Amino acid sequence: MTIQAPVQLRPDARDRIIDTLTTQKIPAEYGLRVGIRGGGCGSSWLLGFDLPGPADEVYLIDDVRVIIDKRHLLYVLDATIGYEESEDGRGFVVEKGG
């Protein structure tokens, strides 16, 4: 079984990612790394631009290269990445499907 898109990108997040890649002149070999940091109740989402390594799977989701470590795939499956701006600040948000 091949997973086509283990995570979803909301249009706001997709636009922000592509804009950042372009304005920061990040090389095309890079992609958005999606994963988890820590474990159990202390885990948090890991989002950042990175190069794929030997333990990674690379997906093209809505014209964005998404890099996921094979060991993290089960944890990030069905997550939706968005971008929000509020009075408290702005940034990417991750919602986990069920």
Inside any domain, residue 1: no
As for how many domains the chain has, the answer is 1
81 is a domain residue: yes
Q: Which domain holds residue 63?
A: 7-96
> pLDDT tens, 14-42?
999 999 999 999 999 999 999 998 766 66
Is pTM beyond 0.85? Reply is: yes
Domain membership flag for residue 75: yes
Query: What are 89's strand-pairing partners?
Result: 86
| pLDDT tens readout for residues 78-94 | 999 999 988 888 999 99
Give 68's pLDDT tier (boundaries 50, 70, 90). very high
CATH classification of the domain holding 48? 2.60.300.12
Mean pLDDT of the chain, nearest integer: 90
- Asked if residue 2 is part of any domain, the answer here is no
The answer to the question of residue 47 being in a domain is yes
The answer to whether residue 29 is domain-embedded is yes
Question: What residues contact residue 40 under an 8 Å CB cut-off, 6+ apart?
Answer: none
pLDDT of residue 96: 86
